[in-house]
Homo-oligomer: A and B are copies of this chain.
Amino acid sequence: MKAASTTCGHRQPRILAALAPIEIADFLPEPLFSEMRALAGEFTVVDSQKVKADAMRTALTHYNPEVLVASWRADPLPVVLPPALRYVCFLGGSVRRLVELHHIDQGLLVTNWGNSVSRIVAEGALMLVLMSLRRAGDWNTRMHRDGYWINGSVASTCSLFGRRVGIHGFGNVGREFVRLLQPFGVAVSAFDPYVPFEEFAALNVQHVSSLDELFADHDIVVELAALSRETVGSVRGSHFAALPDGAVFVNVGRGAVVDESALIAAAQSGRIHFGLDVFHQEPLRADYPLRGLSNVVLLPHVAGPTPDRRADAGRFGLVNLRRYVAGLPLEAVVTREIYERTT
């Protein structure tokens, strides 16, 4: 591994940025891109949108960078890494498409966007909760399509104020979601076996010890659990059956955490309202049975992060690069444990 050049005790590493022009525009609007470039001894950009797997490999071999900056469009790293490569600063969330576990085991430093976009996903969850309670997707569709106006009753339209909200998966998004809920005076509970008790209490969230408990006693359940061997298919028919009439289930996490046939049966019953941004299989097939149901809000996996806030992730990556250059510990490092837990 080559030694990096140093100035005033700081390294000036050779950086390869595998980013498409649209990714640079979204994640690293000026002055961020220039600031990143200024950190490098040598700075090269390959357009990840145009690069084929071989070309990416060629670029890595040719430039032999110490640091790779990449986002969603980058191709997977080769099995054998270029000799100088020490740090992958990934501007997105899941690194699984880019990095293999053995790379991390070999000592490759990998970071992702950490907590920088969690609040945007939480915002998407809040919107789906409100839309589901207010039946706004269906009102809007009928107003546009059917020349509709209400005839008498709006009895099914509900408010978030005073409700009991349950959260499955109390990670970064869950915590940001609790912050957005604060003005609504709701009682919040969460189930997450990986999070210590104290972290619930710190946010005034009640800890519940099972999924059964979470669904039995709440008007609204928000699904935010990471996909793992423990969570896949863990939300089942008995859980939906335990929700009261008119309850709301929102999923902005992972579609496969929910048992697919139980979801379809519960949605078709019409008893519960659903706000869904993620699905068991994406893209959603044209004849998916939830299409056309008035008690279901459907979004095509756009709850977050919105393009206008991707610079938050770019800024976060830039802070990590600065820390790397200064020899400081990095934030949001993807360890073996985190890699394995986040599918």
Indicate if the CB atoms of B287 and A139 lie closer than 8 Å.
Answer: no
Residues of B within 8 A of A155 (CB): 307
Which chain B positions have C-beta within 8 A of A158?
Answer: 306-308
| A180 located at the interface, meaning its Cβ lies under 8 Å from any Cβ of chain B in the complex | yes
Contact of A137 among B119, B140, B162, B309 (CB under 8 A): B140
The stretch of A30-38, A124-132, A192-200, A323-331 in contact with B is A124-132
Q: Is the CB of A157 within 8 A of B306?
A: yes
Is A343 in the interface zone, CB < 8 Å from B?
A: no
> Is A3 interfacial (CB-CB < 8 Å)?
no
Copies held by the complex: 2
Partner pick for A182 among B136, B140, B183, B305, CB 8 A cutoff: B183
Tell me the smallest distance from the CB of A115 to a CB of chain B, in Å. Answer: 13
Does A107 make an interface contact (CB < 8 A)? no
**Residue in chain B with minimal CB distance to A276:** B143
A120 closest partner in B (C-beta): B159
Partner of A124, one of B134, B137, B147, B299: B134
Q: Which residues of B contact A139 (CB under 8 A)?
A: 298-300, 302
Given A299-B139, A302-B150, residue A123 in contact with residue B159 (CB < 8 A): yes
With A and B bound together, what is the CA distance between A293 and B140 in angstroms? 11
Which residues does A use to contact B, with CB under 8 Å? 119-120, 123-124, 126-127, 130-131, 133-134, 136-137, 139-141, 143-145, 147-150, 154-155, 157-162, 179-180, 182-184, 282-284, 286-287, 291-293, 296-302, 304-309
New contact pairs (18) apart from A136-B137, A145-B145, A157-B307, CB-CB < 8 Å: A127-B127, A127-B136, A131-B131, A131-B136, A131-B140, A133-B306, A137-B137, A137-B140, A139-B300, A140-B140, A140-B297, A143-B300, A149-B283, A150-B283, A155-B307, A157-B302, A159-B308, A159-B309
